[in-house]
Amino acid sequence: MKKIDVCNRAVSSENGEYVLGLEDTGSHACYLIYGVLKPREKGRAIKPGKGHEEIVLAMQGDLFLSGDMTGRLEQGHAFHIAGEKTIYLENVGNMEAVYIISGGHSAHGHHH
């Protein structure tokens, strides 16, 4: 079993995200994104792309959503997004927020 420290990789990256996917797993079937938003950070775009679907989970802190979906995503809650739709995340709190995205190909989705 290969363990990967996605938290530290996300925190040390330029954009606050780490994509656990093909390079780590050797598979095109699915991926996981671990993201960190600094306090009051906004504008993080979520856009699965043609032939892809994602489930976005607020792990720590509440997030504000804008774009193709608007509202508040409370800690522990998730939403589904597919295709070319775009959602922007904003950390509305005073502490770091963490989100997890699980994604993969749609039933008749894009193949690499």
Task: pLDDT band for 22, please (50, 70, 90 cuts).
Answer: confident
Q: For residues 88 and 25, what is the distance between their CA atoms, to the nearest angstrom?
A: 28
pLDDT of residue 49: 93
Across 16-39, average pLDDT: 90
Residue 53 CB contacts under 8 Å (≥ 6 apart), including other chains? 80, 81, 82, 83, 103, 104, 105, 106, 109
Q: What is the pLDDT of residues 82-109, one digit of tens each?
A: 999 999 999 999 999 999 999 998 876 5
Global pTM exceeds 0.85: yes
Higher model confidence: residue 34 or residue 1?
34
Query: What percentage of residues in the chain have a pLDDT greater than 90?
Result: 71
- The pLDDT mean for the chain works out to 91
Span 6-105 CATH architecture? Sandwich (2.60)
For residue 55, pLDDT beyond 90: yes
